[in-house]
Amino acid sequence: MRILGVDPGEKNIGIAISDPTSTIANPLTVIKHASREKDAAAIVQLAEEGGVRMVIIGQNLDDEGTPTYQGRRAARLGGAIRAITTIPVEFWDESGSTQSARRARIEMEVPQHKRRGHLDELAATIILQSYLDSRARDQ
């Protein structure tokens, strides 16, 4: 079963997709933020084209596990997606995904001048891989 991972940002939305066995997450694309409805439609289109059976949206949580401002924006995006598709939507704690993406680029020895720019699709991959790993441990 393929799963789509979403890292919703203010400017860009990172998208990742799992392999058919839901074991490995891979970066897919970045969507430029337009509006909640247009973003949701673009995500649903990617999900349908990729044969996706579930969408995982990264959601920022505070220390008590309550969604932050960004986390509430992610919840509204999830609601917009649910309104136009029957594909299940779940939320996953994305705390630290962008920092992890930044560290990954450093560890891959990507030159500093090439590390600039968005990390959205890599952050989406980290969010989705975290979800996939958690599911594997629970089975």
What pLDDT does 85 receive? 98
* Cα radius of gyration rounded to whole Å, the chain: 14
In this predicted model, which residue has the larger pLDDT, 111 or 69? 69
Residue 89: band (very low, low, confident or very high) from pLDDT cuts 50, 70, 90: very high
Average pLDDT, the chain: 88
Angle at 128 between CA 82 and CA 53, to 5 degrees: 45
Mean pLDDT value across residues 100-108: 55
Residue-wise pLDDT for 24-79, tens only, equals: 999 999 999 999 999 999 999 999 999 999 999 999 998 898 999 999 999 999 99
Range of the domain at 130: 2-138
Lookup result for tokens 């989406």: 124
CATH code assigned at 104: 3.30.420.140
Residue 40 burial by CB count (10 A; 0-12/13-18/19+): exposed, middle or buried? buried
Query: How many domains does the chain contain in total?
Result: 1
In percent, the amount of the chain with pLDDT more than 90 equals 69
Amino acid at 34: A
Residue 136: band (very low, low, confident or very high) from pLDDT cuts 50, 70, 90: confident
